[in-house]
Amino acid sequence: MKRIIFLVAVNISVICLLIGALELTGQFVFYFVKGYPVYNSAQRRLFELHPYLVGRLQNNISVMHGNKKITSTDMHTRNTGKPLSHNTIKVAVLGGSTTFGTGLTDLDTWPALLQNALGDGYSVVNYGVPGYSTVEAIIQLALIVPEIKPDYVVMYEGWNDIRNYHEINTGSDYISHGMMQYESLQIPVWTGHTIFERLSEISSIVHFIDKMRDHQNDRRLASGGKDSREPDSYVDRIYERNLNTMKMLVKNMPAHALFVPQVLNYADFRGKKGSRVWTPHIEDDAMPELLDKFNRKMSAVCRKGDQSCTVLDEVTSQKWHADDFIDDGHFSRKGGMIFALLIAKRIKQSGGRKGITPVLHNRRKSHGLS
């Protein structure tokens, strides 16, 4: 009996030592890749729970994700290199992960590059959050953006709306997309974490298992339906409706509405079969054509002669290259610079605050705005 107990104790000790060595190795690898330990990952969560938007960027944070710096303002917006000043022409920019600047350090995001291109006479505020669609933009335009009294509102929309193509139970409010955002933004639903989620924030082994589980779920979602080459008329209608709602909300501020069609790394889609996690029901090779059609719906949102609403169609005629992106759609610094300069040119062509349109300027005076 003593021998059996001894052998069990030795085996348990060996197993514990192996687990400890594996955990230590995992912590070292995680730190080498991320630049911070696993147990600090919870403190580095960027987004917090929001009752209407699922999640928003935490305010006044400054963290390093690898070698990428992410800094936020007291308004829960990402730093663009210049604090908001009410004595400047104010430019609010809305969108998803490309606007937020996923994969980039603060000053390499296109809103920060736009701030640099426009100069000190302007203040650019980056309201972009990964995954945000026109639904979140409507909420932002109704409740949040008006507080800064913007002169221009730049809306870069498309990718996060077209991902709803052929989605079961999409809903006119994109409910299925919204529910997915809890996981995308790593927002704990309601009040906290499961034991497994808590362990994943301190143990490299559990963290790895959690990521493998997420990867399997992503693969399941990507292969969960038949890839389509056809448009989705229901989502098209909702997208057009949302764009028109956004236009009305911006005009009511009053400000100039500048819509920007979606740009993707088309070379990364053409000639490829299957679909991607973010667009699970769209065949890769069909994405360029489908998104072009989607963008044309944005091109029609501003009526001819409406000087308070414009669409920057120049971005779709620009010749984009693979090195303008860091992946299938997020800009590199090079691509973001080209994109920002196109927007800056359009804004400056309008002549600034008083040059938006005489109608808007008169409305500003009637509202007591300068």
What proportion of the chain, given as a percentage, has pLDDT over 90? 64
* Same-domain status, 27 and 69: no
| Residues 6+ positions from 347 with CB-CB distance below 8 Å | 91, 118, 122, 152, 258
Do residue 99 and residue 71 come from a single domain? yes
Tens-place pLDDT, residues 351-365: 755 434 433 444 444
In sequence order, which ranges of 193-323 are alpha helices (DSSP H)? 195-200, 204-222, 233-251, 287-299, 314-317
Residue 260 lies in a domain: yes
Same domain, 142 and 194: yes
Structural domain for 119, as ranges: 47-366
Per residue in 150-193, pLDDT (tens digit) is: 999 999 999 999 999 999 889 999 999 999 898 888 886 654 45
CB atoms within 10 A of CB 244: 13
Is 23 in the same domain as 162? no
Q: What is the pTM of this model?
A: 0.81
Closest CA to 265 of 326, 213, 333: 326
The string of pLDDT tens digits covering residues 77-115 is: 999 999 999 899 999 999 999 999 999 999 999 999 999
One-letter amino acid of 265: N
Give the CB-side neighbour count of residue 266, counting CA atoms within 13 A: 15
Query: Is the omega angle on the peptide bond into residue 254 within 30 degrees of 0, that is, cis?
Result: yes
The answer to the question of residue 42 being in a domain is no
List the CATH number of the domain containing 285. 3.40.50.1110
The total of other beta-carbon atoms located within 10 Å of residue 257's CB is 25
Total number of domains in the chain? 2
The answer to the question of residue 293 being in a domain is: yes
